[in-house]
Every structure is written in C-alpha cells, then in structure tokens.
Amino acid sequence: MRPRRRPLLPALAGLWLGAVAAIAQGSDVAPDRIYVNARVWTGESSKREAEAFAVRGDRFVAVGAPDAMRALAGPSTQVVDLGGRRVVPGFNDAHWHLPARKDARLDNAGSVEVIQKRLEHYAATLPADAWVTGRGWMPPDFPENTAHRRYLDEVFPDRPVVIRDRDGHQALANTAALRLARVTRDSPDPADGIIVRDASGEPTGLLKEAATGLVRDLLPPLAVEDTYQLLLGEVSAAASLGLTSLQDATEGGLTDNERAAVTRAIAEGRLPVRYRSAVPFDETPSRRQLKRQVGECAAARGSLHACGFAKLILDGTVDARTAVMLEPYVGGGNGVAFLPQQQLDRVVAAYDRAGLQVEIHAIGDGAIRMALDAFERAARSNGTRGRRHRIEHIEVPALVDLPRFRELGVVASTQAIFATPDASTLQNYAPLIGPERASRAQPFRLFDDAGAVQAFGSDYPVYPMDPLLGIYTAVTRQTTAGAPAGGWYPQNRVDVEAALSHYTRDAAYAEFEESTKGTIAPGKYADFAVLSRDILAIPPPELLETRVLLTVMGGRETYRAAAAQ
Ligand SMILES: [Zn+2]
C-alpha cells in the first residue's frame, strides 16, 4: 500500500545502470545538463543517495556516480557543479489554496500596532478608496483577546477595512465597512453566524462564521487581469520555496477567472508548478455530470493543470469548537457534521463509482470516523479498489481508527505546521480537547507507524507554504523560537527523511503521480530543489536558516536565489 513498497520502474540498482547504458549509445540522446558535486536525496528506497544526475528535456535520464554521468555527455551537454549542495525532489504541497484576493498578511502580528502598520503599508499600494483587506490575525493580538473595530477606526476612520483571522472563521470590520454593509444594533444574526455586540448592544465589528459574509460579500470581485497577476505572484513565491507541485484543495475547484489564469499562465510558459484542482462538488451529482468531469480530467492528465478529485468539508475546527468530536469539548458542546452520515455515504459512493478521488476535510475524531466509514462502505458497495480517497487535516484521530488508513488505502493528508505550539494551540486548542486528546493531535508519527501513506501540505494561505518550515515543525513540534523545550507531545515527531518523503513522494502518490514525479529517478520529471544547507545533516533549528538556491521544474529553472547567480 505504501508507495515505497511499490515496484516502481527505476527502483532496482540494475535498472539505473541500464538507463545509463541506454543513453550512452548515441550522442543525439546526450543529456542537456549533468549536475555533479551534489548530495542528492533521491527519495528512492533502493538508492537513497547519489552524487550526480543527468537531465534531458523535462526528465531525469540518469542518476548515479559523477564519472558515469560525465560519460554520458555529448558536445552540447552542460555540466553544472552544485558545490556539494543538498538536492531534493521538488516539494509537492498536497493541500494548498489559491487565495481569492491579495490581502495584507497579519500572521504573527502580536499587537494592534503591528496590525495597524501592516494595514497602512498595504493600503498605500491600493487606490485611495479601495477596500483594505487582511488576514491572519489571532485573538491574542488584541488587548484582552478581544478584537474590536476601534483599533481599525484609529487608522482608517473613513475607508472600509475587513480582516479575517488565521482560520477564516471570523472577521473584524471597521465602522466604515459596517456602515456600507448596513450592519447596525438592529441587524439580526444571520443563520449560522454571529454579529458580536458589546454590553450596550452595539456591533463590535467582530463577525463570526456566516456573519462574515455580511461584509465580505461587498468586496468587489477581482478583474481577470488581477486574478492572473495574483496567480503569478503566488506560484512564483511557491517556486522560490522549492515547490514544483501544488494541489489546490479548494472545495468546488477554481472559479472561471482562476481557471482562465492558469490556462493563460501555461500558454505563456509562466506556470512554474504542476497544478491540480478539484472538480466542482455537488451533494447530489448526476451521472452525466460525473461522466463529463471524469472525461475532462482524463484529457488533462499529463498537462500542467490536472484534476480528478472532489473535495467536501465535513466539520469545522477545534478552535471554533465546530470540529466533530466523539466526546464533547472540555466545558461542553460539540460540532455538528455538515452532512449526516447517510448523505455522506451516498455522495462518496457516487464519486467513487464514477472513478473520482474524494478528499474529505475532517478534523475531529468523530468526523474522521464518519469519513472512514463512508470510504469503507463505498468500496464495499461499488467493489472499487485503489481510489486513494483522502482525509484532509485529520487533526485528532481516534487511536483505534489509525490502522484503517492502511487497510482502506485512505491517504492521510496532514499539515505539519498545524502542530506549531503557539499561543492559540496552547491556550485555546489544547485546553478545549484536554490532555488525552491533545496527546494524539497532529500525530504524524502515529500515521507512519500505522503504515498509512501520509502526504504533507500547508493549507496556505491559512499557514505559510514554506515546506522547510513545515519540515522544521514536523521534526521539532516547536515554535520557531524553539519552545517548548523538547517539543509539544514529542512522541509525534518524525525525522527529516520521513518529512521529506511526505512532502515529495507521498504527496505525488496522493495525486496518482508517483510514477512521474516525487523522487529523483530516471524517467521521472526533472523536478528538484537545491538547498543552501544539508537538511539531513544539520541540527533542526538550522532548518529555519536553510534557503532554496535553485528550483527546477520539468528541466526548466523556475527560481534562482540572488546569491546563487
Ligand atoms: Zn484547506
């Protein structure tokens, strides 16, 4: 079930030599480039380390010793000396989102002053009357953990401002924005949402869940060109972090503008990543609709924009007490599944029958069990195998459910950086579930021990997309400041090599592409990153100082650090 046990083409040492011999036969098939003097982590279980590799067109054609590679060179082959640097397969973010708009980033602001400064700085780049939007704040950024519109009014008395919290479940609007949205003390709470009010009944500007739409629905849609520029900015940022594949987990897939932007970027040669997005999700899909989606995804296979899965969201988050737990939260209350089990079973079975993969967002142990049950029933009633259905986040699984991932062939799609023990994790998340459940929260090691295929992602823009930051968190379970000493529930740490596999080979498996990418092996796409330090040899804190020097996707350079020129 695990990709490393699958007999992939280049998995045997003999075949590696075979590939070398085949290439050496004629100079017209000489490599375009030979990379030597490298420490290559291939990701292949049979031949984990190499010193050199050769690339022709968009593929690796040989991997091995420097002399063997040099012997392949033709008259026009370029030899690149990598100066002893660590080379890894291009990172693959298995759970990423294209942001709907460009926002001021408020992550780790820590104070109202910093939030105000970042918003002012961002606002200065916009037309004078444009909405100012931001995301990434957390309650502890505000005095007494209480966000209030007065902090936004101080710097933006007339211009509308709305900023979302990190998880996107609440938003803070200033007075100008509330006025445009006609939200007053007399406005009723919308269904599934709360307009937070002060003691006198006045809205404080804080809007929860569906109430955020009262203001956010007023934001003007991005123009086609703006969407294109947004996409280019995001994917070039990804390339600068060593990413060569992005799996967009947005429920419903891309909007028309976003799809057009991806298509245009490919046509103009400006998409530096392999992109995968969801098909539009429908709770009651028709056979015709499914057939069309399957056909479209089959036709797109092998292009830079793939599809082939449907995404649905089954529960909320622990922090908002909307994740569905088997037992109530400490202090009471529980989330309610967004789909009852029977309906979930029906829709999962419909996609499964059509041949589409299903990704289910499930965070609490209750929702995770519902998702596993639905996958098990679909496979049984449809007689299907190898669908590689996925559960996204899987933050607090029940221990007894862990073996089911391997048994059912369900991919564990986790986000390493979710284990960051920051203020909200320690002061809100952990107390809400109590110590026993916290001890099995974000249990990366337990998934590995249970033999599950585990794919890492970031959930960008909820968290930064930097894979090296994700690897740091997976191997330390500490904040970037190194707290707490020893790590948060350190028994759930994994080592750098496991984290690398989850960010490369296993993420490729999660999208059915392990035969074309995810390791450095002959025949696979030449997707790789060159790092400033050897992450397999340095102490974990140095992961935070490690930079990507060069990113190559399909044999094409997609990023080069200034210092590496
Ligand atoms: Zn997500």
pLDDT one-digit tens code per residue, 455-479 = 999 999 999 999 999 999 999 999 9
- Residues 414-430 have a mean pLDDT of 93
What mean pLDDT value characterizes the chain?
Answer: 93
Q: What is the DSSP letter of 181?
A: T
Q: Ligand 1: distance of its center to the CA of 361 in Å?
A: 8
Crossing angle of the two packed helices 224-240 and 256-267, in degrees rounded to 10: 60
pLDDT one-digit tens code per residue, 168-179 = 889 999 999 999
For 416, half-sphere exposure in the C-beta direction (CA atoms, 13 angstrom radius) is 34
Q: Ligand 1: distance of its center to the CA of 418 in Å?
A: 12
- Residues 77-100 have a mean pLDDT of 97
Instruction: Dig out the tokens for 412 from the structure.
Output: 């564990």
Confidence label for 564 from pLDDT (cuts 50, 70 and 90): low
pLDDT one-digit tens code per residue, 198-254 = 999 999 999 998 899 999 999 988 899 999 999 999 999 999 999 999 999 999 999
Q: Ligand 1: distance of its center to the CA of 457 in Å?
A: 9
In angstroms, rounded to a whole number, what is the distance separating the alpha carbons of residues 470 and 480? 11
Q: What is the DSSP letter of 562?
A: G
pLDDT one-digit tens code per residue, 2-38 = 333 333 333 333 334 334 434 444 445 899 999 999 9
CA dihedral sign of residues 496, 498, 499, 504? positive
pLDDT one-digit tens code per residue, 511-558 = 999 999 999 999 999 999 999 999 999 999 999 999 999 999 999 999
Q: Ligand 1: distance of its center to the CA of 28 in Å?
A: 46
Residue carrying structure tokens 């996107």: 168
In angstroms, rounded to a whole number, what is the distance separating the alpha carbons of residues 512 and 516? 9
In one-letter notation, the amino acid at residue 91 is: F
In angstroms, rounded to a whole number, what is the distance separating the alpha carbons of residues 490 and 85? 30
Q: What is the DSSP letter of 460?
A: B
Q: Ligand 1: distance of its center to the CA of 250 in Å?
A: 7
Q: Ligand 1: distance of its center to the CA of 212 in Å?
A: 18
Report the b/e string of 323-355 with b at 16+ CB within 10 A. bbbeeebeeeebbebbbeeeebbbbbbbbbbbb
Confidence label for 59 from pLDDT (cuts 50, 70 and 90): very high
Give the pLDDT confidence score for residue 145 in this predicted structure: 84
Q: What is the pTM of this model?
A: 0.89
In angstroms, rounded to a whole number, what is the distance separating the alpha carbons of residues 554 and 4? 23
Q: Ligand 1: distance of its center to the CA of 10 in Å?
A: 34
Q: Ligand 1: distance of its center to the CA of 386 in Å?
A: 24
Q: 377: burial class by Cβ within 10 Å (0-12, 13-18, 19+)?
A: middle
- Residues 396-409 have a mean pLDDT of 98
In one-letter notation, the amino acid at residue 391 is: I
Q: Ligand 1: distance of its center to the CA of 310 in Å?
A: 13
Rg of the chain's alpha carbons, rounded to an integer? 24
Q: Ligand 1: distance of its center to the CA of 315 in Å?
A: 12
Q: Ligand 1: distance of its center to the CA of 97 in Å?
A: 6
Q: Ligand 1: distance of its center to the CA of 254 in Å?
A: 14
Q: Ligand 1: distance of its center to the CA of 388 in Å?
A: 18
Which one, of 473, 444, 451, 491, lies nearest residue 544 by Cα?
Answer: 473
For 97, half-sphere exposure in the C-beta direction (CA atoms, 13 angstrom radius) is 20
Which one, of 183, 185, 190, lies nearest residue 209 by Cα?
Answer: 190
Q: Ligand 1: distance of its center to the CA of 363 in Å?
A: 11
Residue carrying structure tokens 């991997």: 63
The DSSP-derived string for 12-34 is: SHHHHHHHHHHHHT-GGG--SEE
Give the pLDDT confidence score for residue 456 in this predicted structure: 98
In angstroms, rounded to a whole number, what is the distance separating the alpha carbons of residues 392 and 507? 12
- Residues 278-301 have a mean pLDDT of 95
Q: Ligand 1: distance of its center to the CA of 540 in Å?
A: 27
Q: What is the DSSP letter of 437?
A: H
Q: Ligand 1: distance of its center to the CA of 352 in Å?
A: 21
- Residues 332-348 have a mean pLDDT of 95
Where residue 442 falls (left for φ over 0; alpha for ψ -120 to 50; beta otherwise) is left
Q: Ligand 1: distance of its center to the CA of 253 in Å?
A: 12
Q: Ligand 1: distance of its center to the CA of 293 in Å?
A: 22
